[in-house]
Structure 1
Amino acid sequence: MNYDFRIMRIKASVIGHRSSVVFSVFCILCSLFSFGQVKSSIDSTSITIGEQITYKVEVETDTTNMVVFPEGQTFSPLEMIESYRIDTIKNSDKYNLIKKYALTQFDSGAYTIPSQKILVGDKTFFTDSLKVEVNNVVVDTTKQGLYDIKPIIEVKKKGSNWWKYVLITLLIVGVIAFLMYWFIWRQKPLTEEQKIALLPPYDRAKLALKKLDESHYLEQAELKEYYSELTLIIRKYLDEKVYDHSLESTTEELISRLRLLREGNQIDLSQDTIKNIESILRRADLVKFAKSTPDIALAELDRNTIDTEIDHVKEVLPEPTEEEKLLDEKYREELARKKKRRKIMVTTVVGISLLIMSFIGFSLKYGFNYVKDTIIGHDSKELLEGDWITSQYGVPPVTISTPKVLKRTEVSLPDELKQQMSMTLFAYGTLLDEFSVVVNTTLLSQPPKDGIDIEKTIEESLKGLEAQGAKDIITFNNEFATPNGAEGVKTYGTLKFDVLKTGNFVEANYVMLHFISENVIQQIMITYPLDDVYADQIIERILNSIELKPGEA
């Protein structure tokens, strides 16, 4: 974005460093107040580039107080290399706590380690700020050869852990597929009952008689159970081969049907066969319902009679025709198709049920929209969950974390301004994109006597947006402080711009941060979509990552 700074260089006010000066005075007063209880020191005030110094904080406190030392990169512009464990020395009823940090800096210059906040019980203390000078490493060029700067080389992006998620997904799918195969599609070994059911009716009847012989009904004089099994055998056989209502018919109805079939020449049963079956069935009725107790020998004789009559029935049954055999084959094929369709249906229902349950479970845990966007895809979500880049841009540097690396953009200044200012701009996206980030640093060769007016700077930035096609800009201003204490102004709101140059304007959010020092204007501009929870999280993460060196803003 090319912002017009023509008016900025002639408009100024006296706002300057007022807020930062007040903050510095406050830190000094706090340091003086806490001098007797909290002390800080460094082992050297002058180092070379990359050399480490030890920053030490000593706290004297009661044994009952909890002490919280600073953690993280709170020593900027110096970088913390290592945080050592706390040393504890007991002195009568007090503790002397000593915390050490290893710090370094890779640029030469004079730096100030900012005051550090120490919590002791329910009180807050600040350490003294300390001066450190970082010197260049002296190189004897007469003995050490000089080499050209090596060209920029492309570094392959570090691989993510996507293969782990793929492996876990394949493992889960494999387990589910194995379970479906094992319980639904696998040809299970036939049980004894299934094997018997596959036998022809004649063989099943013979096998049932054999099992009846192996029972102990007659030995235990259980005639009722014996005759129940015996009559069930002959009824089942007749039901499958002669009359398909033999099982539910009474003795009288069954015998009448057999005689009708004989008289109608549908089956050539002899009178003796019908009479013998009738006699045994009626005797069984007496045993079951009238509690008759025939002799054991008679029961065995009845068993042999049934065995013989089954043979007689089989002999008189007509042989199945080719058409009947073909119908039986088609019937078996239809049964096989029905069984396969049933397996497919069960597999489909189980699969859909698992997907629905997984979707519901993940929705309850992570939220419906998050799961939906994960499956369908969402541009802002992909930016939020991608590999972020933390880098420094411009001079003096602005440290910021972004979803994509910001690329340097050449800025063309009018000839009359080139001697008065220099500008560096790094950007991802443009104002016409759904999401964009711009870091702009302007160095003035000769700042105004009364300092740079930040309000005028913000006004000129908004005019620059309008010059690029933005309209209906709604503006709110708040004070803003970076995590490392640099203070600036946050301007935010909504604006409209024509993305496709068709006259249809799209509304979006924007955030501008301005940091002013004596001769430096640092600006961060972000645009992002409305009503996008992922974009809101992206902006929050970016804003929380911004760091400027103390004294530069």
Structure 2
Amino acid sequence: MKRQIFKKIKYNNTPFYKEVFFVFMFFLFNNFLFSQKSPTIITAVDSTKIKIGEQINYKILVEADSTAQIVFPEGQTFSPLEMVEEYPVDTLKNQDKFNLIKKYALTQFDSGHYTIPKQRVLVNNIPHFTDSLLVEVASVQVDTTKQKMYDIKPLVEVEKQSTGKWVKYALWSLLALLLIGFILYWFVFRKKPLTEEEKIALLPPYDRALLELKNLDESKYLIQSEYKEYYSELTNIVRSYIEDDVHISALESTTDELINKLEMLKDAGSLKIDNETIKQFQRVLKTADLVKFAKSKPDSTIIESDRKAVEQIVVKTKEAIPEPTEEELLANEQYLAELEQKKQRKKIIIAAIAGVFLLLATTAGFIGYYGFKHVKDTVIGHPTKELLEGEWIYSEYGYPSISIETPKVLKRIQIPYPEEAKQMIQSNQAFAYGSMVDNFYILVSSLTFNKGVENPDLKSIIENTIASMEKGGAKNVVVKEEKFTTSSEKEGLKAYGSMDVENKLLNKTVKSEYVILNFAQNGGFEQVIITYKQGDRYAEDIVNRIINSIDFKTQS
């Protein structure tokens, strides 16, 4: 009596009324079954008649001990209906027991009568099965008499859009230009931050010499009794200044050679320096020679006197240099400008060579590692390579459902069947991507037969499938057959081989490969057909991945 009342309630079409009575029946069964130790499982739907695409709520109610572990069905276990949404579990406490309600939103896009199969609920790892429910899906009636009629629009010619490859070319060209531009900027146009040594080197010789003398005073040479290093640095400062400003080779000259050169400039009138300064400079250089080569250790007073003497020599030498004429200044500026231009041209040439070398080296490295064809397909683009490396989708199709992983979502299509075949078929669903003349094509179909119809002969179906492919433009079909077993140990029959596919639009024939997988079990039949261009290694990888992913849900 309670079961009859419950059925009447679940067929009612008032949502609030149904929810109230569903909870009411829930507690009614609680009182009746409270003393039972085994769990109580009840199922209900809010309607058994829906239109195509309309959703129904399927509920599973479980009453069990508070310590029980309960696992509800997951995934697409409601075939031939499709699960749209799974809701969280509602939990109600009833004394020392828990009442759990799990709700699913289901739908179907084909009209007909469908049975929601038994669902397995695990309670403490013990399976319990619900009752199956019958649902009627009605087609949507369309009154065409109320529709306005319009003339058929004429054909309009449009230009074929073939921007895909040009977009890739543009992107790769832009990337190369950006790389070359970055190299030019980094090595040519970028103003690099100068180090302290570079900043000092850019100073005029006179200012640089005075700054270096100041830095020498702050060094630790004298504190650490490193007299040789101190005098080497001291004399190098004044020698470098004389070489830069007076334009004589001072760093590589001995003491006597350097003094002779200064005296010759003085006698020629090119350097207006007095004899006392030259003698003072000679004395400092000789003291430095004794320290560096004879390991002499001068007194601190001598060291301090030599330090001051060097600074005076730099100052007096600067004063002794004649002022350059306007012609000399102009020539010097022109020389510096030409020198700067040469440096810039040299940098540009180096950067361009480096950019070209980098591109060639990178390309050669990729070709050596991946191969020329792979690099070409990556740069220019390849349709099946993009499919292989794109985001794949793992889903279930049809009823009995077939689980398969594909590079694109398969779209539902209609396959025409002969009248004699329609009398044996109870339901059929087909899903596909592409066509036989495309680079890659896959078709997944699933059939259920009426009661009393025996499982089909898989070899006969392969012959019929080949015949259909020949009607679609296939020629010279080579057929090979072998048994096939999925990862879930379901056996089927595999047919594969080569064929020529006629593309009537392009008026050419393409050599292709194909794979046909057939499965038959418990009044149901599933088929997977894949075709692709011959010699396409990316397509071969796609086929292997698809075939290895095929699985079937165990129908309760």
TM-score category by the smaller chain? 0.5 to 0.7
Give the Cα–Cα distance (whole angstroms) in 1 for the partners of residues 121 and 330 of structure 2.
Answer: 100
TM-aligned CA deviation for residue 198 of structure 1:
3.1
Give the Cα–Cα distance (whole angstroms) in 2 for the partners of residues 386 and 298 of structure 1.
Answer: 81
**Match status 1:187 vs 2:212:** no
Aligned counterpart for 1:255 among listed residues 250, 255, 259: 259
Give the Cα–Cα distance (whole angstroms) in 1 for the partners of residues 400 and 251 of structure 2.
Answer: 100
Q: Counterparts in 2 of 1:53-202, with a 5 A limit?
A: 53-61=56-64, 66-89=69-92, 95-104=98-107, 109-133=112-136, 147-148=146-147, 185-188=189-192, 194-202=198-206
Tell me the SS of whatever aligns to 1:252: helix
Quickly say closer, same or farther: Cα 1:424–1:176, change in 2 above 3 A. Answer: same
Give the Cα–Cα distance (whole angstroms) in 2 for the partners of residues 509 and 193 of structure 1.
Answer: 72
Name the structure 2 match of 1:5.
none
Name the structure 1 match of 2:42.
40
Tell me the SS of whatever aligns to 2:321: helix
TM-aligned CA deviation for residue 75 of structure 1:
1.9
TM-aligned CA deviation for residue 57 of structure 1:
2.6
Structure 2 residue identity aligned to 1:513: N
Give the Cα–Cα distance (whole angstroms) in 1 for the partners of residues 235 and 430 of structure 2.
Answer: 101
Q: Is the 8 A contact 1:388 1:404 kept in 2?
A: no
TM-score normalised by structure 2 residue count: 0.59
**Match status 1:335 vs 2:343:** yes
Quickly say closer, same or farther: Cα 1:92–1:287, change in 2 above 3 A. Answer: same
Q: Is the 8 A contact 1:476 1:492 kept in 2?
A: yes
Q: Is the 8 A contact 2:212 2:237 kept in 1?
A: yes
Q: Is the 8 A contact 2:68 2:123 kept in 1?
A: yes
Structure 2 residue identity aligned to 1:280: V
Quickly say closer, same or farther: Cα 1:74–1:255, change in 2 above 3 A. Answer: same
Aligned counterpart for 2:530 among listed residues 526, 537, 540: 526
Structure 2 residue identity aligned to 1:125: H
Q: Deviations over 1:309-346 (max 9, x none)?
A: 51475249999598777655543433343445566677
Quickly say closer, same or farther: Cα 1:84–1:242, change in 2 above 3 A. Answer: closer
Give the Cα–Cα distance (whole angstroms) in 1 for the partners of residues 422 and 94 of structure 2.
Answer: 63
Give the Cα–Cα distance (whole angstroms) in 2 for the partners of residues 387 and 176 of structure 1.
Answer: 36
Name the structure 1 match of 2:298.
292
Name the structure 2 match of 1:491.
493
TM-aligned CA deviation for residue 497 of structure 1:
1.5
Give the Cα–Cα distance (whole angstroms) in 2 for the partners of residues 67 and 187 of structure 1.
Answer: 69
Tell me the SS of whatever aligns to 2:475: coil
TM-aligned CA deviation for residue 114 of structure 1:
0.5
Quickly say closer, same or farther: Cα 1:81–1:525, change in 2 above 3 A. Answer: closer
Quickly say closer, same or farther: Cα 1:399–1:336, change in 2 above 3 A. Answer: closer
Quickly say closer, same or farther: Cα 1:263–1:183, change in 2 above 3 A. Answer: closer
Q: Is the 8 A contact 1:496 1:508 kept in 2?
A: yes
Of the structure 1 ranges 337-346 and 326-335, higher mean CA displacement relative to structure 2 is found in 337-346
TM-aligned CA deviation for residue 236 of structure 1:
1.3
Give the Cα–Cα distance (whole angstroms) in 2 for the partners of residues 179 and 303 of structure 1.
Answer: 46
Q: Is the 8 A contact 2:501 2:512 kept in 1?
A: no
Aligned counterpart for 2:382 among listed residues 375, 378, 383: 378
Give the Cα–Cα distance (whole angstroms) in 2 for the partners of residues 536 and 495 of structure 1.
Answer: 15
Give the Cα–Cα distance (whole angstroms) in 1 for the partners of residues 80 and 344 of structure 2.
Answer: 78
Q: Deviations over 1:130-157 (max 9, x none)?
A: 2344568999x9xxx962399999xxxx
Quickly say closer, same or farther: Cα 1:265–1:283, change in 2 above 3 A. Answer: same
TM-aligned CA deviation for residue 492 of structure 1:
1.9
Q: Is the 8 A contact 1:495 1:509 kept in 2?
A: yes
Q: Is the 8 A contact 1:432 1:497 kept in 2?
A: no
- Structure 1: tracts of 5 or more residues without a match: 1-34, 154-165
Quickly say closer, same or farther: Cα 1:338–1:424, change in 2 above 3 A. Answer: closer
Name the structure 1 match of 2:283.
279
Task: Count residues with an aligned counterpart.
Answer: 474
Tell me the SS of whatever aligns to 1:291: coil
Q: Deviations over 1:167-207 (max 9, x none)?
A: 9xx99x99998999689743256666545433443454466
TM-aligned CA deviation for residue 510 of structure 1:
0.6
Structure 1 residue identity aligned to 2:341: E
Q: Counterparts in 2 of 1:215-234, with a 5 A limit?
A: 231-234=235-238
Quickly say closer, same or farther: Cα 1:432–1:311, change in 2 above 3 A. Answer: closer
Quickly say closer, same or farther: Cα 1:383–1:264, change in 2 above 3 A. Answer: same
Q: Deviations over 1:26-59 (max 9, x none)?
A: xxxxxxxxx9546232256743537765433344
Give the Cα–Cα distance (whole angstroms) in 1 for the partners of residues 141 and 432 of structure 2.
Answer: 37
Q: Deviations over 1:459-494 (max 9, x none)?
A: 532652578434441212458899xxxx99843242
Quickly say closer, same or farther: Cα 1:36–1:183, change in 2 above 3 A. Answer: farther
Tell me the SS of whatever aligns to 2:251: coil
Give the Cα–Cα distance (whole angstroms) in 2 for the partners of residues 106 and 407 of structure 1.
Answer: 12
**Match status 1:314 vs 2:313:** no
Identity of aligned residues (%): 35
Give the Cα–Cα distance (whole angstroms) in 1 for the partners of residues 242 and 82 of structure 2.
Answer: 97
Aligned counterpart for 2:242 among listed residues 220, 238, 258: 238
Aligned counterpart for 1:535 among listed residues 537, 543, 548: 543
Quickly say closer, same or farther: Cα 1:216–1:454, change in 2 above 3 A. Answer: closer
